[in-house]
Amino acid sequence: MSNLQAQFEQAQADVKQLTQRPTNDELLNLYALFKQATEGDVHGKRPGLFDLKGGAKYAAWEELKGMSQEDAQTQYVDKVSQLSQVYA
């Protein structure tokens, strides 16, 4: 397992230990980075107009289209580190 992969997995555990809830924008950013890191570019159909939460998640992920999975992992690890300082 690469060092980046180990850091990414640790960040996934660390984010669950936050004592306060991050903002919705921060959570959307984390979601998008996680999806890009684990699945790559967005795929599938955009959720329907009435699925506001699903639409927001899809749009956030879609904004990262073209980013490598490694870059997404790095940014996810960095974001969790920042959130840990604010919400721990």
pLDDT in tens, 4-47: 999 999 999 999 999 999 999 999 999 999 999 999 999 999 99
Check: CB of residue 32 under 8 Å from CB of residue 60. Answer: yes
Instruction: Give the count of beta carbons closer than 10 Å to the beta carbon of residue 68.
Output: 12
Which residue range is the domain that position 33 belongs to?
3-87
- Tally of domains within the chain: 1
Query: What's the token pair of residue 46?
Result: 């955009």
Instruction: Give the count of beta carbons closer than 10 Å to the beta carbon of residue 8.
Output: 23
pLDDT in tens, 39-76: 999 999 999 999 999 999 999 999 999 999 999 999 99
Q: Which residue from 85, 36, 88, 82 is spatially nearest to 57, judged by alpha carbons?
A: 36
We report the CATH number of the domain holding residue 72 as 1.20.80.10
Cα 19 to the center of its chain, rounded Å:
18
